[in-house]
Amino acid sequence: MYLKRFFVEGLAHASYLFGADGEAAVVDPKRDIEDYVAEAKREGLRIVAIFNSHPHADFASGFRELAQRTGAKVYVSHLAPVNYERVAARDSQRVKVGSLEVELLETPGHSPDSLSFLVRENGQPTTVFTGDLLFVNDVGRPDLRDADEDPSALAGKLYDSLHEKILTLPDTVKVYPAHGAGSLCGRAISDAPFSLVGQERKLNWAMQIKERDEFVRQMTANLPDRPAYFSYDVGVNLEGAEPFDALPPLDEMTEEELQHAVQDDAVVIDVRPAPEFGAAHFPASINIGLGSPSFSTWTGFLIPGEKAIALVVGSAGDAKKARLELARIGFDNVLGYVKAGSLSQTQTLAQMSVEQLKANLQGDGPFLLDVRTPTEWKNHHIEGARHVPLASFAKQLPALPNDRPIAIICGSGYRSSIATSLLQARGYKEIANVAGGMTAYAETGE
């Protein structure tokens, strides 16, 4: 069997092309589908099937375009309330892909309509694609796909699917999940690209919880924040995203056009690094740096999916890359871009070194806001700082003092630049981003 994994950094999304004897299938395709088409052609394979493990919440899938390009059938659970032409898959249904036989397994838990795909070679099970049910060293969260579903009920189904469908397979069956380390769909996902059923049985923390009730309790406790864009992407994937290559061209805008876009309620995202943003940026723009793999995730956390977006970039190449990253989460309403060097009306945002921060904290220094995660804060923080995770800014910006300077810190200076730009756009004046963050702070010693 031929198999290739495709991985999108930041979203930590894994998809797969597999096949044999001239035919192939794609599992959980990403938005941009050219890689699959080109790879299948190189290997002499014809894509005949697209297997969707469920309508995903964390990325926009390109299955619709891939089906149009290849004529492949799309398989998704009969329980999924989708609005596109597909094969309504049911438990134990079998599909031929060349000489391979793929059994479709109903494995609810992460969502009520999750499927796994068990591949048999010469009649023997060798590979299972588990979607968001089972990851390497982790399992899927039961609270992401369906806001109206009871997470406890889904967690119970998750337990049943794992123990009745996956853990009954031979230990040697390879496990290929839809996500790797860094995905918000789990809590402790390994960065290993695949695993074995036997390995997960012995080493996966969730598999060590033998009692169903205790499993449900732990699956629904201390869950990380659910990004706002997850609900939006479910809607995109229930319909099928527009073909990526059919999106209108991304044109360069004038500063006047940018101003008009803002008047029409567009949001301006400046994708440059924090120091460049701090030196000069368009007033009220938000700094979400393209240099981080988390660019699309933080955009999805903080910007509504329906919102019109205008980009401020360092180059046309950055605009093209940002367009792709935004499309991968279904954010297609991008009006255009402006090169930062062409802007005439700009403002600055102070960048404070950790040495300056330490000096200023002695005595009547700035109000210090730490926007890292609760775990990071618990591990180490600066005495006297206030903790408000950046993820919570999506619901409400924190109320901060207006009578003293404000310094904002994170782990590296990336998230704090996002937070600082949001607060500056809200009207805070004496505000600074701590360059280098807690990493640099620790390197200078206490």
CATH number listed for the domain at residues 2-236: 3.60.15.10
Q: How far apart are CA 15 and CA 389, in angstroms?
A: 31
Query: For residue 327, what pLDDT is reported?
Result: 98
Q: Answer whether 2-236 and 247-342 agree in fold.
A: no
CATH number listed for the domain at residues 350-443: 3.40.250.10
Q: What is the pTM of this model?
A: 0.94
Query: For residue 320, what pLDDT is reported?
Result: 96
Q: Which residues contact residue 70 at a Cβ distance below 8 angstroms, ignoring those fewer than 6 apart?
A: 37, 46, 47, 48
Domain spanning 247-342: CATH superfamily: Rhodanese-like domain (3.40.250.10)
Query: For residue 446, what pLDDT is reported?
Result: 58
Query: For residue 361, what pLDDT is reported?
Result: 83
Show the low-confidence residues of the chain (pLDDT under 70): 145-148, 363, 446
Alpha helices in 83-122 (DSSP H): none
Written in H, E and C, the secondary structure of 235-273 is HHHHHCCCCHHHCCCCCECCHHHHHHHHHCCCEEEECCC
Tell the burial category of 428 from Cβ atoms under 10 Å away from its Cβ (0-12, 13-18, 19+). middle
Q: How far apart are CA 339 and CA 319, in angstroms?
A: 9
Query: For residue 187, what pLDDT is reported?
Result: 84
Query: For residue 184, what pLDDT is reported?
Result: 85
Calculate the alpha carbon distances from 7 to 47, 176, 192, 319 in Å.
19, 12, 12, 22
Q: How far apart are CA 212 and CA 112, in angstroms?
A: 18
Number of helical H runs and strand E runs in the chain: 14, 23
Report which residue type is found at 239. E
The residue ranges of every structural domain in the chain are: 2-236, 247-342, 350-443
